[in-house]
Structure 1
Amino acid sequence: MAGSGTPQVENTSNILQHQTLNLIFQEEYIPRFFQLLQRGFMVKARRGCSLKSLLCQQPGISSEYLEERIQTIFIDGKAVDNIERAIPADGATIAISAAMPGLVGATLRRGGFYAALRSQITYTAGEECASEGEAMFKLKLFNLLIDELGRGFLEKGIWIDGKVLQDFFKGQAESFWEGCEEIELDGSKVKPQKLLETHWCGEEKQVLFKVASTRSGI
């Protein structure tokens, strides 16, 4: 969880020109997509904003939820204690988790009693970043947060690396597609086979990806 690198991110205007993929699946199949949230996906936020502000712009994360449920946070592999002073740089990788058990969990918990034991892996605020425009950040969800926040992120849409998406589709059994109700690729309805044949790893590396259940629709 703590060993994440920092992706190189193009400007947001270029990313917005990339492919879009909307899926509708039966409700019971939605958790199968949660592994993508753990591997990491891109979110957009105002450049130079605090970590707290960045997270609270995301679906399902209110100030109250952030304080009560998100107990462990990493920026580029460094544990964060002060979410109001931490300002992630463009392209930073942010990993968030609910409270973890045991001494390790207590040590990594932000602002916890044992925080001093991890001074070598604690995030320290760097120079302030420019505050104009928008930037992209890589976000990873872990443990209970995946179940609690996963559907909201998928329904709103996430930017995901094309290679990750391609590997995900190719790794699914035929039975996976039995839960698929509708596929829309760049505004056109397509069949599942089209997704398996699509090469997602060209110059356009990011895909705006949405998944909704038959209960909510796209």
Structure 2
Amino acid sequence: MKDQTPSKILFTVDKKYLSIFFPVLQQGFKVSARFGCSLKSMLCDQFGITPEYLSDRIKTIFLNGKPVDDPETAIIYDNAVLALSAAMPGLVGATFRSQGPLSIFRSSITHRNKEEKSEIPGKGMLTLKFFNLLVPEMGPAFLERGIWLKTGIIKNLIEEKKADLDTFFKSIIINGQKTGADELTSLKWNDNMELIQVAVKTGKEISPEL
């Protein structure tokens, strides 16, 4: 196994150790999605987020680095970068809050759809970032569904946690083959491979066939 280049890794962890993956959710991860639709449609129809959670819990939204006021009108295109956060404290949090009373003060940088954008709707990749309370609330469902991470991110995570891998992971399946924690640390990585598919399940050990 150590000579095999990983392209897909499935971890099974005890729920109490799931938080070791939370930092990567803030760094940014990729998911496949249908684009050419509204931000609200993508979050609710594709990712299963309820409209109530979107309106009541997700208070700050950045699309390609610009704050979004109305997720129903903001259109998502391929390779977009979407950052989501619960309410942030202080004046900065109030200013960037979607449709907040102080949003007028950042009107010059607020996201607006580009009329000249004529990309045909289809399937592509979206970069997501979660912050503060949304990390433990939304993160587990995305980790279980499967995400794509940059090779360097998952390599660094394994290196940082290598002393405790046997404690954290109930099972590790790489490219459909079950392996041990010691082999995980000695994998041959392909640094030219931009993304690796990673899924994290909680609970009992999962068979390699899944």
- What TM-score bracket applies, with the shorter chain setting the length? 0.7 to 0.9
Q: Which residue of 2 aligns with 1:109?
A: 97
What secondary structure is seen at the aligned counterpart in 2 of 1:171? helix
Cα distance in 2 for residues equivalent to 1:142 and 1:44: 20
Q: After TM superposition, which residue ranges in structure 1, 4 or more long, deviate above 6 angstroms?
A: none
Using the TM superposition, give the Cα deviation of residue 103 of structure 1 relative to its aligned residue in structure 2, in angstroms.
1.4
- Establish whether residue 84 from structure 1 lines up as the match of residue 72 from structure 2: yes
- TM-score for the superposition, normalised by structure 1: 0.85
TM-score (norm: length of structure 2): 0.88
Task: Flag structure 2 segments of 5+ consecutive residues without an equivalent.
Answer: 1-5
- Where does the alignment leave 5 or more consecutive residues of structure 1 unmatched? 1-17
Identity of aligned residues (%): 39
Q: Give the deviation of 1:198 after TM superposition.
A: 2.6
Partner of 1:19: 7
- What's 2:163 paired with? 174
Report whether the alignment pairs 1:29 with 2:3. no
Larger deviation, residues 86-95 vs 67-76? 86-95
Say which one has the larger Rg. 2
Specify which of 131, 137, 143 is matched with residue 142 of structure 1.
131
Q: After superposition, where does 1:118-137 map in structure 2 within 5 Å?
A: 118-127=106-115, 128-137=117-126
CA distance in 2, matches of 1:86, 1:169: 37
Please say if residues 162 and 185 of structure 2, whose CA atoms lie closer than 8 Å, have aligned partners that are also in contact. Answer: no
**Deviation digits for residues 64-106 of structure 1, max 9, x if unmatched?**
1111110100012110011111113321111000011121111
- Alignment of 1:195 onto 2:165: no
Tell me if structure 2 keeps the 8 A contact 1:49–1:131: no
Size of the aligned set, in residue pairs, is 201
State the partner residue of 1:3: none
**Equivalents in 1 of 2:48, 2:162: separation in Å?**
31
The whole-number CA distance in structure 2 between the counterparts of 1:216 and 1:111 is 44
**Displacement of 1:111:** 0.8
| Equivalent position SS for 1:88 | coil
* Alignment match, 2:63: 75
The answer to whether the 8 A contact 1:95-1:141 is kept is: yes
8 Å CA contact 2:59–2:85 kept in 1: the answer is yes
TM superposition shift of 1:215: 5.2
Q: Is the 8 A contact 2:30 2:126 kept in 1?
A: yes
User: RMSD value over aligned CA atoms?
Assistant: 2.0
Checking the alignment, whether the CA contact within 8 Å between 1:165 and 1:200 is kept in structure 2 is: no
8 A Cα contact 2:59 2:97, kept in partner? yes
Counterpart contact for 2:170–2:205, Cα < 8 Å = no
Q: 1:129 to 1:38 in 2, by over 3 A?
A: farther
Matches of 1:200 and 1:140, distance apart in 2: 25
1:207 aligns with 2:196: yes
Rounded to whole Å, the distance in 2 between the matches of 1:193 and 1:58 is: 37
**How many Å apart are 1:26 and its aligned residue?**
1.5
SS at match of 2:121: coil
In the aligned structure 2, how far is the partner of 1:171 from the partner of 1:179? 12
In structure 1, what is the equivalent of residue 175 of structure 2? 186
